[in-house]
Amino acid sequence: MRKTDKNSIIEELQKSYSMELETVMNYLANSINLDGVRAEEIKKALAADVAEELLHARQLGERIKQLGGQVAGSLDLKLEQKALQPPSDSTDVIAIIEGVLEAEDAAITEYNKIIRQCEGNDYVTQDLAVRLLSQEEAHRVLFEGFLKEYRKK
Ligand SMILES: [Fe+2]
Ligand SMILES: [Fe+2]
């Protein structure tokens, strides 16, 4: 692999790593903050996803290391997930579901980008991105289903 290709893949993996950790932080916060009967299922789903998204970050970090990069500490993370900030109304489940869909869409876009970027030069990273993409798509379908139901009530 050319050094420039490798460096740009490492850079993109760093971005994904940051995104996954921010998702962990916000799913965790919202899985605790939400109130009410309607929120219970969403809290459980978010709590389960915290573990999955953390595993994504770990897998990305391990690949960064294998490629010769270094995994960032907290001060080097780029945090920008506005849609998932805890709402002032702690029963506003729909706002959270919409925030989750935005985060999952961002992850889907990101892994598609990495898959294309790796084509022809890094099939190991590409394979990881494909696996992560399929899990993010599953998350999106789950929360799309929640949104359908919650909008009815
Ligand atoms: Fe993820
Ligand atoms: Fe996800």
Ligand 1 centroid distance, CA of 147 (Å) = 19
| Ligand positioned closest to the Cα atom of 45 | 2
Q: For residue range 13-65, what is the model confidence (pLDDT) as tens digits?
A: 999 999 999 999 999 999 999 999 999 999 999 999 999 999 999 999 999 99
Domain at 3-70+78-152, CATH class: mainly alpha
Q: How far is the CA of 143 from the centre of ligand 2 (A)?
A: 10
> 12 and 114 in contact (C-beta within 8 Å)?
yes
d(CA 151, CA 93): 10
For residue 129, which ligand has an atom nearest its CA?
1
Per-residue pLDDT of 77-127, as tens digits, reads 999 999 999 999 999 999 999 999 999 999 999 999 999 999 999 999 999
Distance CA 133, CA 59 (A): 13
- Find the 2 Cα to ligand 2 centroid distance in Å: 31
